Amino acid sequence: MASNNNNNNLHDPITEAAVVTVSSSPADSEASSEATMTCQLASGQVCICHSCEDVRARLLSETANKRKAPPAATIITTTGNGEEADDNEDANKKKKSNTLQPDNPELVHQKMTAACQTILECIGEDPNREGLLKTPDRWAKALKFMTKGYQQDAKKILNGAIFEENHDEMVVVRDIDIHSLCEHHMVPFTGRVHIGYIPQGKILGLSKLARIAEMFSRRLQVQERLTRQIADAIVEAVQPRGVAVVVECTHFCMVMRGVQKVGSSTVTSSVRGIFRDDPRTRAEFFSIVGHGK
């Protein structure tokens, strides 16, 4: 029975390697004296001879190397336009799932509330006290509303409200309230917009002028750019003979911080077409909106 067990155990790769090493080790005096010892692996015992120790060390080394093997590299190829294309579909899916886009509102909201909690802690507040428990959630919703202009498009806002009309006199809409956020400090600036244009065969629904001003104001802004964007959007919509826009606002970055000058206001204007070329037309518009002499 013992010989059968020995024969069966010789198929074990560790046992087989140990036996071969012991039988072929008449190299030095120490190994030759140990060669007379019988390997204990065949009898089911733990063997500590040099040969078995060498086999165990080799196997452990191979296992460790496998664990340290680097993951498969992401392959980047180049398209015909010279742009990089990621061939790793899993990586692309992961990137898309983590992208903060409007079509992933839950992730956006989580990121914003976590950021607000961090800000509260940084200014020395306790986000867990009763009055602040729901503040991160409220702040995230409020900021998304105040910057909703990023998700709006002028063409969709106009919604086809462009009409053929043979009118070539000035059209002015005054005192459109706007509320925006200064992109330098993310504090509000508020005021009024005055818009005038001279049609050239097409007119806009009057409410659309206010909606255009609202759309661009609901973004992080500087007043100068806001004024230009409103004028350019009207030019693109109806190609009028001319457009004039005046924006007058109070900036809380000047009132609440910095120079702290309450009552100061900033006035910007942007003119296109006949309003730029004809001083009389420009003067008429500024007179109507209250900025003429």
Closest CA to 227 of 277, 284, 266, 262: 266
Task: Given the residues 52, 248, 249, 251, select the one marked as catalytic.
Answer: 251
* 39 is a catalytic site residue: no
* 251 is a catalytic site residue: yes
Task: Given the residues 167, 179, 184, 291, select the one marked as catalytic.
Answer: 184
Task: Given the residues 53, 121, 183, 224, select the one marked as catalytic.
Answer: 183
* 248 is a catalytic site residue: no
Sequence-separated (6 or more) residues with CB below 8 Å from residue 178: 190, 191, 192, 193, 213, 214, 217, 226, 247, 249
Task: Given the residues 182, 194, 214, 248, select the one marked as catalytic.
Answer: 182
- The answer to whether residues 17 and 55 touch, using CB atoms and an 8 Å cutoff, is yes
Task: Given the residues 39, 49, 221, 223, select the one marked as catalytic.
Answer: 223
Task: Given the residues 34, 109, 253, 284, select the one marked as catalytic.
Answer: 253
* 182 is a catalytic site residue: yes
* 236 is a catalytic site residue: no
Task: Given the residues 109, 152, 185, 200, select the one marked as catalytic.
Answer: 185
Residues annotated as catalytic are: 182-185, 223, 251, 253
